[in-house]
Structure 1
Amino acid sequence: MIRFGIAATTALALGACVSTADGEDDADAIVIGAAIAKTGFMASFDMPVHHSLQIAVDKANASGGIDGRPIRLEAIDNKSDSTQSANAASRLIEQGADLLIVTCNFSTGGPAATVAQNAGVVSFAPCASDTRFGPLGLGDLVFNLGMSIPTEGAALADYAMKKGWKSVYTLTDTELDYPKNTCEAFEKRFTELGGKIAGKDVFRNSDQAIASQVSRAGEGAVDALVLCSYPPGGAMATLQLRQGGIDLPILANFGMDGDYWAKSLPQLSDFYVISPASLFGDDPKPEVNQLLADYRKKAGGNPPTGSFVYGATTFQLIKQVIEETGGTDGTKIAAALEQSKNLRTITGPMSFGTDYHVDFEWDVRVLKATGGRFSYVETVVPRNARALVK
């Protein structure tokens, strides 16, 4: 059996905390707690965030911190488990965390965000897609800094139409809400744009074989296949599709970002995936490529996914809002984030409202695999993604 793992991700893990500039704990320090997945299926998304957040903290401490206060970053591994996520959040808050970073998956990060909400602490899901990270799902102190599910669905639909793929087949992973909801958002926007869903099928991430789905995907004439999943199941599905003779272009959601999962598909081609950034050194933004270079130097290797930019985004937002409010009071920070417009971040300007604590406007990268090598090909700016919220 071929196994797809994230050992490379965990091998890059750095220390659990970042000390202040002078190497000593400071009673006046701003403490950022991170209840994140250093291991398990979410590590390939959480750990790049953690590494780039750590880089930002180090740089800030070297230049005086935030408003003259040093910053400490404390992390506890939730092992991609919802119960351990809540426990990690409780421990971090008990240890004095002023703000909390949570895992970017709702089922895993949600419990930690709930703990923070109940404690009056603002929490951030840096690379999440689920709009339930916010007032309508978890509380008014919870913020989602990633590309939302509606944004992903709209971007996939816009790009498919731009490529002339007007008839598609969707293959949806039903193990988690994220891939299911992403394909639903795609299908809604794609049909609105005049596209046709010629067929659809489902599988579970834990499935070891999808022979029947592969057989059905080969029936009829379609322009492309849209895959909503994440490794390892998404990797296995891609492998079996190609082995089964399905040579259609495959367009995938952010959950399939990176090339760490594609080692068993060395000639993978005509595979497209969306991301907030290219991790291959060819992003259209020079500052993203510089962050990538800093990441490689600090972590000793490439990030597994484009989520590495989210750590920088998170710190930039935290710094701006603490400087504006003069402290770390959860209610004041949340109010400032809701009222601010076009906050400056490496991923672009961000604004939050009072209903959904997420920015739906994104410059979405499209990456393509050719002969096993991924590269940036285009930026898509999806239109009116907010209208796709369920």
Structure 2
Amino acid sequence: MFIRGLKILLLAFLLIPSLVLAGEKDPIKIGAFFALSGPAAFIGTPTKLVAEMAVAEINKAGGINGRPIKLVMADTEGDPTKAIMAAKRFINVDKVVAVIGPTRTDTGMAVKPIFERARVPIVMTVGGDPVIMEGGRFGSARYIFKTPQRSSIAVRKIYAYMQKMHITRVALLTASDGFGQDGRRWLKKLAPKYGLTIVASESFNPRDTDMTSQLVKLATTNPEAIVCWTIGPAGAIVAKNVRQLKIDVPLFQCHGLPGPKYIELAGSAAEGNLMPSTKLMAWEQLPDSDPQKPVIAHFVHLYNKVYRLGEKFPINTHSGYAWDAVNLLAQALRKAGDNRQALREALEEINGYVGISGIYRLSPQDHCGLDVDSMIIVKVEQGHWKLVDY
């Protein structure tokens, strides 16, 4: 009897691993690629960490209908060719359900047709509009979504504030890359609607280290404000050049620059600079009635206190993009499961998700879902970000 009981007990122990494995559910694989090296790594690396933080929080809460999310990671190096290689691997080798990323508009445009052809939903974390624009050279974008505000939304926010300042004459200084070209297109197109005249327009390579010659040309046209459209160190160089040339008009930067790195690189030349931003950069200054305020407060707590990401990567305006991308996908996955077509349709139906970068109201016509009310205008004062227009 004792021997028989021992055999039954032993058999039970042998069966435990099989029972555990049978109870586990396959993970939902999501591709994630960012510029983890190269000139945009200062944006791409913390974006990756935020994506991992978002997934960890979802998995701790039980995952998606009991299934955990698994991120399949890749480094684009900010290179369109590397991004294409990663996209093909996600689709053909890793068999991911969906993708988030990349970091730059140029890499986003390079992979756009790949995901469209494969019918794999992607929620991009790039600033430029072309990734979700359709028709002509932009192609289709049925499977392409993005979490940062459109460039056109940021331009409208700047121009509405200029109207309040009674500015009418504007000079443009834009990067020659895809993001800069997108900004210049909207800056020129929308100016007449706000009673603004573009008096001059110059461009620069985002890797340039001096833009004084372009700024001297702009200054001769007597603008009442200068708008610079770029991301990365180039924006800080422009601010320093403006200070060195003693150009005494407001300098507006784009929505990709608010963050401590800009102030660090520009130094005292950042003082007085204005730019559109997500509410994240001045969230404590928001009215308590803003529905985003408690959501952002929780995110900041997780970022700084729980996951301690702020110790190496202080929060900037990009910090919430991957969080929103992961959570938009999670919301759609809970409804549609891992069928790619159903997932795409579920993303289009999201209306009212309160995120870090805004309240998302997606539709078949708008794969970003953020309007001007998702942005604020901030100003650098004594080395800090001050909310000057809500």
Q: Which TM-score bucket, shorter chain as reference?
A: 0.7 to 0.9
Unaligned runs of 5+ in 2: 1-19, 287-292
Is the 2:237–2:266 contact (alpha carbons within 8 Å) kept by the matching residues of 1?
no
The residue number in structure 2 matching 1:170 is: 172
Is the 1:211–1:240 contact (alpha carbons within 8 Å) kept by the matching residues of 2?
yes
For 1:323-362, list aligned pairs within 5 A.
323-325=334-336, 327-362=337-372
| Separation of aligned partners in 1, 2:285 and 2:44 | 21
The residue number in structure 2 matching 1:15 is: none
Q: Does 1:115 align with 2:114?
A: yes
Number of aligned residue pairs: 353
Q: Which amino acid aligns with 1:155?
A: K
| Separation of aligned partners in 2, 1:131 and 1:265 | 29
The residue number in structure 1 matching 2:59 is: 61
The residue number in structure 2 matching 1:10 is: none
The residue number in structure 2 matching 1:308 is: 319
The residue number in structure 2 matching 1:266 is: 267
Cα displacement string for residues 218-241 of structure 1 (whole angstroms, at most 9, x for unaligned residues)? 335432211112222222222111
The residue number in structure 1 matching 2:81 is: 83
Higher helix share: 2
Query: Comparing 94-103 with 335-344, which one deviates more in the overlay?
Result: 335-344
Q: Select 2:386's aligned residue among 350, 357, 375.
A: 375
Deviation, structure 1 residue 199: 2.9
Q: Select 1:145's aligned residue among 124, 139, 147.
A: 147
| Separation of aligned partners in 2, 1:28 and 1:259 | 40
Unaligned runs of 5+ in 1: 1-21, 380-390
3-state SS of 2:298 partner: helix
Is the 1:205–1:229 contact (alpha carbons within 8 Å) kept by the matching residues of 2?
yes
Q: CA distance change for structure 1 residues 281 and 355 in 2, over 3 Å: closer, same or farther?
A: closer
User: % of aligned pairs identical?
Assistant: 22
The residue number in structure 1 matching 2:3 is: none
| Separation of aligned partners in 2, 1:369 and 1:203 | 24
Q: CA distance change for structure 1 residues 351 and 357 in 2, over 3 Å: closer, same or farther?
A: same
Query: Comparing 94-103 with 36-45, which one deviates more in the overlay?
Result: 36-45
| Separation of aligned partners in 2, 1:217 and 1:197 | 11
Deviation, structure 1 residue 339: 3.7
3-state SS of 2:227 partner: strand
| Separation of aligned partners in 1, 2:127 and 2:213 | 32
Is the 2:34–2:44 contact (alpha carbons within 8 Å) kept by the matching residues of 1?
yes
| Separation of aligned partners in 2, 1:42 and 1:265 | 17
The residue number in structure 2 matching 1:287 is: 295
Q: Does 1 or 2 have the higher relative contact order (CA < 8 Å, sep 6+)?
A: 1
Is the 1:122–1:141 contact (alpha carbons within 8 Å) kept by the matching residues of 2?
yes
Query: Comparing 353-362 with 291-300, which one deviates more in the overlay?
Result: 353-362
Is the 1:270–1:369 contact (alpha carbons within 8 Å) kept by the matching residues of 2?
yes
| Separation of aligned partners in 2, 1:304 and 1:245 | 31
The residue number in structure 2 matching 1:161 is: 163
| Separation of aligned partners in 2, 1:112 and 1:283 | 38
Deviation, structure 1 residue 79: 0.7
Cα displacement string for residues 199-254 of structure 1 (whole angstroms, at most 9, x for unaligned residues)? 33222223333332222233354322111122222222221111111132111111
| Separation of aligned partners in 2, 1:57 and 1:214 | 44
| Separation of aligned partners in 1, 2:109 and 2:47 | 17
Query: Comparing 64-73 with 228-237, which one deviates more in the overlay?
Result: 228-237
Structure (1 or 2) with the larger CA radius of gyration: 2
| Separation of aligned partners in 2, 1:44 and 1:275 | 18
Deviation, structure 1 residue 334: 1.2
Q: Which amino acid aligns with 1:129?
A: G
Q: Which amino acid aligns with 2:87?
A: A
The residue number in structure 2 matching 1:183 is: 184
| Separation of aligned partners in 1, 2:218 and 2:110 | 37
The residue number in structure 1 matching 2:11 is: none
